[in-house]
Amino acid sequence: MKIYTSYYGNNRKLLLKGILPVAISNSTPKWFRPAKFQALVPPWEIVSKSREGKITDEEFKKEYMKQLNALNPSEVIKSLEEIGKGNDIALLCYEKNPSECHRKIVAEWLEKKTGITVKEFEDK
């Protein structure tokens, strides 16, 4: 199983490539029906503080990393494999630009903790 990151705007392209979209955002578009992986969803409190400019990007990352570091990376991978049922998956949220999004933090965390490369999906 390969793991990608992407945003909801690529949902159809992912499905056409046989990649299962998995939500890691607090909310999802009304039309989104596939899986959601709640353990990787950042707490709404820090999301709203970030949006309101009450915390910096670094403070957001520090708080979110506390959540990620409380997880067992091997169990996260095992759960994602179960969700994917043999398919590649893409962890999705709303931001088009991955550098402005928590999915980049998740990708870096997974790579550091498991050695699994997590790339941003590119439709080629």
Beta strands in the chain (DSSP E): 3-7, 19-23, 35-36, 88-93, 118-120
Query: Is 81 strand, coil or helix?
Result: helix
* Number of domains composing the chain: 1
Residue 98: per-residue pLDDT: 81
DSSP 86: T
Query: The pTM is what?
Result: 0.93
- How high is the mean pLDDT in each 10-residue block of the chain (124 residues)? 96 95 94 89 95 94 96 96 95 88 95 96 84
SS3 content of the chain, % helix, strand, coil (to 5): 50, 15, 35
Residue 100: per-residue pLDDT: 78
DSSP 56: -
- The phi and psi torsions of 28 (rounded to 5 degrees) equal -135, 160
Which pair of structure tokens corresponds to residue 103?
């999915």
Residue 109: per-residue pLDDT: 97
Which pair of structure tokens corresponds to residue 94?
């709303």
Backbone Cα Rg of the chain: 14
Provide the residue range defining the domain that includes 57: 3-120
Q: Which residues, including other chains, have CB under 8 Å from residue 78's CB and lie 6 or more apart?
A: none
Report how far residue 74's alpha carbon sits from residue 42's, in angstroms, rounded to the nearest whole number: 19
Residue 99: per-residue pLDDT: 79
